[in-house]
Structure 1
Amino acid sequence: MPAPRKYPDELRQHAAVRFTATGRPIAHVAKDLGIHPEALRNWVRQDEADRGERDDRLTTAEHDELKQLRREVTELRRANEILKAASALFAQELDYPRTRPTK
């Protein structure tokens, strides 16, 4: 389970919009809102990526899709290992010589 976020999503969105609308330096807007300037800088960068203004970061939707795909890959690898172990076990059973019961 991921750690809880320190700031709510509404504050993140409001802060990014406020910075964009006012044009003031990030440090001033962050101080007005009582948040760390680097946190605001990251939120603004992410907001710009989500709006398509930046191509050096993944959008939120792409990030969520990447997380889901990584989880799926992990699950499939785990299933693959189980199937490999099961097939090896069955192959071992097939290798035993079959003897006919004596009469």
Structure 2
Amino acid sequence: MGRKSPYPEDFGKDAVALYRAAAGKRTYAAVAADLGIAGESLRTWVRKNENQAVPGRRGTGGEVDEPARLRAENAGLLKAEQEWRLEREILRRAAAYFAREVK
């Protein structure tokens, strides 16, 4: 087991978020240099964060989560489509009602 980090846990989370915000534009070393920490520390925090994204799985983390994310997104889109159809039907009926009232 390794030694405890001298940095607060929140600092590590913020550093990971900063690295991810760079989204491939900056290296571990560049972000770490800005924060005044070692590049390997940042790399370790990013890897730990990826492993926590999928409980029980070590490795990249993103691939396993992708199908679940897509299913949830699809369910949200289907719900939005159902709401849109209902709204459209209500407006169609309201237009027909007011058209009869005008005549």
Sort the TM-score into its range (normalised by shorter chain). Answer: 0.3 to 0.5
TM-score (norm 2): 0.47
- The structure whose Rg is larger is 1
TM-score (norm 1): 0.47
